[in-house]
Amino acid sequence: MKGTESTTPSASARPGLRALQGAILVLIAIVVASVVTRLLVDVPHLLDGTFPEEEYDRRYVQHPWLAYVHIAPGIVYLLGAPVQLAYRIRNRHYTFHRRLGRVLLTAGLISGAFAIAIGYVMPFAGTSEAIASYVFGSWFLACLLLGFRAIRRDDVVNHRRWMIRAFAIGVGVGTIRIWLGLFEATGLFEFQDGFDVAFWLAFLIHAAAAELWIRKSPHPDDVWNPTEQPNPGSTR
């Protein structure tokens, strides 16, 4: 049936979708584990008024508000975005999708803005890392804002595309940790020396992967027909 074709994900895309979902869950788990570790290191020092010996850890204790105003909404965004992007949630629970979208947009904008600020105030690997923070932080914010503008115009197709791009950059934080682990395991870079390299590699790969997914795996939203079902993405 024509209506079924326009609202049901392609069966051929499902294996790739499952693999992508699994990879995303792993990356989010890595980020959550990193945040838990960060808290275990920082909180005792913040309570005692002391500073860690390691320079990487010390920066977070020296600038706790800057760091955690980035981290806290960032976690909210990363945990909520997969739900927001899930086709079945959008298709069956329009009101929830719209309300969650407002929360995640706010969280993402705050986290992204403070990611850029962190790159300026406390870059660990110097200028190259700072530039990476500016470039990809700005791209993340632009994607969120363009996605919001698209949905305000009832442009569901481009709303979805911009939000996929934004999420790809956000979840790239997990891939940074993977690269750092690989560098340490292979001895290719010392931790600090490889930090900026991991930034650039992770975010470039994620930006490219987002474009590939958008082009190779068209979604039913791309052929959404307003005469067949209500617009699941409108925030109006």
| pLDDT, tens digit, 9 for 90 and up, residues 56-74 | 999 999 999 999 999 999 9
In a domain, 231, yes or no: no
Whole-number average pLDDT of the chain: 86
Rounded CA-CA distance 162/169 in Å is: 11
Q: How confident is the model at residue 123 (pLDDT cuts 50, 70, 90)?
A: confident
Q: The domain containing residue 214 runs over which residues? A: 18-223
**Residues 215-228: what's their mean pLDDT?**
52
pLDDT score at 125: 80
Q: What is the pTM of this model?
A: 0.83
pLDDT score at 191: 86
CB 75 within 8 A of CB 218: no
pLDDT score at 218: 63
In a domain, 43, yes or no: yes
Q: In the chain, pLDDT over 90 holds for what percent of residues?
A: 64
In a domain, 152, yes or no: yes
In a domain, 166, yes or no: yes
In a domain, 6, yes or no: no
In a domain, 11, yes or no: no
In a domain, 10, yes or no: no
**Residues 123-134: what's their mean pLDDT?**
88
| pLDDT, tens digit, 9 for 90 and up, residues 130-177 | 999 999 999 999 999 999 999 999 998 999 999 999 999 999 999 999
138, two tokens? 């700005």
Rounded CA-CA distance 9/222 in Å is: 11
Instruction: Output the CA–CA distances (angstroms, integers) from residue 73 to 14, 69, 122, 205, in the order listed.
Output: 31, 7, 19, 24
How many domains are there within the chain? 1
CB under 8 Å to 157, separation ≥6 — which residues?
Answer: 150, 221, 222, 224
User: Which of 143-147, 214-218, 220-224 is predicted with the least confidence, judged by mean pLDDT?
Assistant: 220-224
pLDDT score at 31: 97
Q: What is the DSSP string of 141-192?
A: HHHHHHHHHHHHTT-HHHHHHHHHHHHHHHHHHHHHHHHHHHHHHHTSS-HH
Comparing CA positions, the residue from 74, 105, 79 lying closest to residue 233 is 105
CB under 8 Å to 199, separation ≥6 — which residues?
Answer: 125, 128, 129, 132, 133, 136, 176
User: Which of 5-19, 102-116, 163-177 is predicted with the least confidence, judged by mean pLDDT?
Assistant: 5-19
Most confident by average pLDDT, 1-10, 94-103, 215-224: 94-103
In a domain, 13, yes or no: no
Instruction: Output the CA–CA distances (angstroms, integers) from residue 173 to 32, 84, 114, 137, 169, in the order listed.
Output: 10, 19, 14, 11, 8
Rounded CA-CA distance 62/217 in Å is: 45
pLDDT reading at 4 higher than 80: no
Q: How confident is the model at residue 13 (pLDDT cuts 50, 70, 90)?
A: low
30, two tokens? 């890595």
pLDDT reading at 234 higher than 60: no
